[in-house]
């Protein structure tokens, strides 16, 4: 289902884009806007305060295509985060791989507020897929026996939702815009966690090994929430 | 060209997802010994082993000691610590020290929002938190502890029976965390009459701290718990809108929004980053906040307002900042952070 939406969105973008190019010579009927979130970039070059709290907004790249005549169009957003973390917390070492994918697609209407300002309002379908896999291992010498444990935990969260967005852009030049957006989204998600731990006890004297499954936890939780994001994500947008 | 780029981007994402599902993990455990210290109270010793035992997290990944590190006065050197799956927790890990106020053992306002009053209940909360240690309930914790071979002896010595219960686990953890005590700073020596314990610049900083800027009206550094009981939550004008409402999130009273517990400044040099969300990396940044960064908020503490009702700008000079930081550095207790009785009993060979 997810791949269907992604394919549909990408296909729409490519089709609309191709159409626009063929018509450029005549009269332009579509405007394309490609945006990139630049909060971290701005923080690197302008640090106005000592606040170290990381800012996270799921959509790194946005794309809109709008009719020049009517302002109506399609909006899509995409964000992806991959992290690999290795920790040594005596007595256990653990390694985590995190993959988070966020996407949204919707329709909207763009209008000029003034010569320099543009606004866009729209409704979106949104989805997320997060996966976290952590492997932990430890070997503890207790005196007369050794306790070795290996644990694997996998957490998958999938979510779907919908909501409205509103954004405002300032035209730095004809082709370059800078803007921000506010969203009001409802998201329903399902979280599945699976933990499998295996423990081996080795008797130091006899060499006898006892194996035990320490825990095999399977949990599934569902949650739904409304989230309002204030306009703090800054996007640099190129219009073409 | 566009199609190629899109294809490459999608392929990269798919590759990363597949790498997450395979078993290409490189975790190599370092064998460790469990060293029991028989010189201290058996219940405290049991609490020490539990505090550092990663078996108390759902995937054996972390222990209480993973985020509360002895060398950092049992705080963490990151804004937000990471839980059992390396997900970020919601607040900065506060130091653990002088939590036992002596009269009512372990009775205090605990956590940044003061939502817990007793150490015995507080110590279980991170274990059952879905981001921190991830255990679903205390029955699972008890079952795990019961199945580990080294706990039978420890419970026998501590409680006279190898029987494991949630209350006994909580009691031992509370006894251990309550035993972590700091009383050997150079400032303590100065307050005890040793005038040479502080240098000239540290004394200058102390005078600025106590007199000119009256920091001590909140941070009562001469008290072991570092603040005045009953008045320990203040809004210091960090934000106009607080995403984390702090005390207000617990009391559901708007007048408490943005209020957080006044931290104990003992070992403050070791507990960076600062504030409930770790937003300030250095003490200099903290002083800069009080100097020029306090923002107005309806709940801003009256001590941080001027006579016109606006947020104060203390305008602390660079020279004064240096002196105050020198004084704050004199609050470091090297005895506490090196005391083997508080150390990790699981030691690498």
- Flag whether pLDDT at B138 surpasses 50: yes
Report the SS3 class of residue B215. helix
| Weakest-pLDDT range from A185-194, A217-226, B94-103, B171-180 | B94-103
| pLDDT the model gives residue B27 | 75
Q: How far apart are CA B349 and CA B347, in angstroms?
A: 6
Q: How far apart are CA A108 and CA A125, in angstroms?
A: 12
pLDDT per residue as tens digits for the range A64-115: 999 988 999 999 999 999 999 988 878 889 999 999 999 999 999 999 999 8
CB within 8 Å: B281 and A86 = no
Distance of residue A228 Cα from the nearest chain B Cα, in angstroms: 11
Distance of residue B217 Cα from the nearest chain A Cα, in angstroms: 25
| Weakest-pLDDT range from A150-164, B7-21, B148-162, B265-279 | B7-21
Spatial neighbors of B112 by CB under 8 A, at least 6 apart, are B91, B92, B94, B246, B260, B261, B276
pTM above 0.95, yes or no: no
| pLDDT the model gives residue A213 | 80
Closest Cα to residue B276, out of B111, B142, B69?
B111
Q: How far apart are CA A94 and CA A137, in angstroms?
A: 6
Closest Cα to residue B119, out of B141, B131, B129, B104?
B104
| Weakest-pLDDT range from B16-30, B133-147, B275-289 | B16-30
Report the SS3 class of residue B263. coil
Q: Are residues B48 and B169 in contact, defined by beta-carbon separation less than 8 angstroms?
A: no
- Flag whether pLDDT at B158 surpasses 70: yes
Q: Which two tokens stand for residue B49?
A: 């082993």
- Flag whether pLDDT at A52 surpasses 70: no
Best of A51, A79, A102, A150 to substitute, by most chain B Cβ atoms within 10 angstroms, is A51
- Name the most confidently modeled range: A43-47, A129-133, A215-219, B101-105: A129-133
Residue from the list B20, B79, B282 with its beta carbon closest to the beta carbon of A97: B20
ipTM of this complex prediction, to 2 decimal places:
0.75
Q: How far apart are CA A105 and CA A125, in angstroms?
A: 5
Strand partners, A182: A166
| Weakest-pLDDT range from A136-150, B114-128, B140-154, B310-324 | A136-150
In degrees, to the nearest 5, what angle opens at C-alpha A156 toward C-alphas A155 and A160?
A: 150
CB within 8 Å: A149 and B60 = yes
Residue listed under structure tokens 């969260």: A157
Q: Are residues B260 and B113 in contact, defined by beta-carbon separation less than 8 angstroms?
A: yes
Closest Cα to residue B64, out of B76, A136, B115?
B76
pLDDT band at B302 (very low <50, low <70, confident <90, very high): very high
Helix segments in B74-198, DSSP class H? 119-122, 125-128, 138-147, 151-159, 166-179, 186-191
| pLDDT the model gives residue A15 | 46
Mean pLDDT confidence for B216-225: 84
Q: Is the peptide bond before B273 cis (omega within 30 degrees of 0)?
A: yes
| pLDDT the model gives residue A145 | 85
- pLDDT, mean over chain B: 89
């Amino acid at each position: 289902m997810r791949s269907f939406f992604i394919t549909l969105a990408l296909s729409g973008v490519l089709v609309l884009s191709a159409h626009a190019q063929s018509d450029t010579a005549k009269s332009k009927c579509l405007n394309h806007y490609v945006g990139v979130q630049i909060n971290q970039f701005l923080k690197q070059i302008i640090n106005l305060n000592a606040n170290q709290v990381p800012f996270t907004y799921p959509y790194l790249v946005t794309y809109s295509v709008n009719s020049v005549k009517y302002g109506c169009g399609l909006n899509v957003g995409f964000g992806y985060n991959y992290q690999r973390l290795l920790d040594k917390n005596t007595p256990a070492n653990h390694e985590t791989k995190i993959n988070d994918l966020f996407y949204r697609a919707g329709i909207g209407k763009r209008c000029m507020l003034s010569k320099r300002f543009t606004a866009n309002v729209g409704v979106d379908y949104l989805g997320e897929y997060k996966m976290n896999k952590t492997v932990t291992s430890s070997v503890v010498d207790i005196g007369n026996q050794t306790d070795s444990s290996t644990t694997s935990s996998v957490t998958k969260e999938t979510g779907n939702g919908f909501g409205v967005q509103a954004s405002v852009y300032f035209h730095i030049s004809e082709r370059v815009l800078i803007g921000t957006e506010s969203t009001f989204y409802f998201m329903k998600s399902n979280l599945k966690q699976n933990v499998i731990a295996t423990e081996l006890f080795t008797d130091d004297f006899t060499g006898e090994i006892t194996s035990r499954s320490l825990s095999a936890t399977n949990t599934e939780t569902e949650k739904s929430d409304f989230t309002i994001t204030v306009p703090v994500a800054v996007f640099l947008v190129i219009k073409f | 060209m566009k199609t190629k780029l899109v294809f490459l981007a999608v392929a990269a994402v798919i590759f990363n997802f597949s790498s997450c599902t395979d078993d290409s993990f490189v975790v190599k455990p370092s064998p460790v010994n469990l060293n029991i210290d028989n010189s201290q109270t058996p219940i405290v010793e049991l609490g020490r082993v539990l505090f550092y035992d990663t078996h108390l997290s759902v995937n054996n990944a972390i222990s209480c000691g993973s985020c509360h590190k002895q060398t950092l006065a049992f705080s963490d050197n990151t804004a937000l610590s990471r839980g059992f799956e390396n997900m970020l927790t919601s607040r900065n890990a506060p130091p653990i020290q002088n939590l036992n106020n002596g009269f009512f053992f372990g009775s205090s306002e605990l956590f940044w929002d003061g939502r817990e009053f007793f150490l015995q209940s507080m110590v279980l909360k991170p274990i059952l938190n879905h981001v921190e240690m991830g255990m679903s309930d205390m029955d699972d914790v008890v079952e795990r502890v019961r199945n580990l071979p080294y706990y039978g002896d420890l419970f026998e010595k501590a409680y006279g029976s190898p029987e494991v219960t949630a209350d006994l686990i909580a009691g031992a953890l509370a006894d251990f965390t309550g035993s972590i005590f700091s009383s050997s700073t150079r400032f303590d020596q100065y307050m005890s009459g040793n005038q040479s314990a502080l240098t000239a610049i540290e004394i200058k900083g102390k005078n600025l701290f106590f007199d000119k800027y009256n920091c001590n009206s909140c941070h009562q550094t001469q008290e072991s718990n570092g603040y005045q009981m009953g008045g320990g939550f203040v809004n210091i004008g960090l934000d106009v809108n607080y995403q984390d409402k702090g005390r207000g999130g617990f009391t559901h009273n708007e007048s408490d929004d943005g209020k957080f517990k006044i931290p104990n400044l003992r070992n403050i040099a070791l507990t960076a980053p600062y504030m409930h969300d770790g937003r300030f990396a250095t003490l200099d940044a903290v002083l800069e906040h009080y100097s020029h960064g306090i923002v107005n908020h309806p709940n801003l503490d009256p001590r941080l307002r001027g006579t016109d009702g606006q947020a104060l700008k203390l305008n602390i000079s660079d020279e004064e900042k240096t002196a105050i930081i020198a004084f704050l550095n004199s609050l470091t207790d090297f005895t506490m952070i090196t005391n083997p009785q508080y150390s990790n009993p699981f030691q690498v060979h």
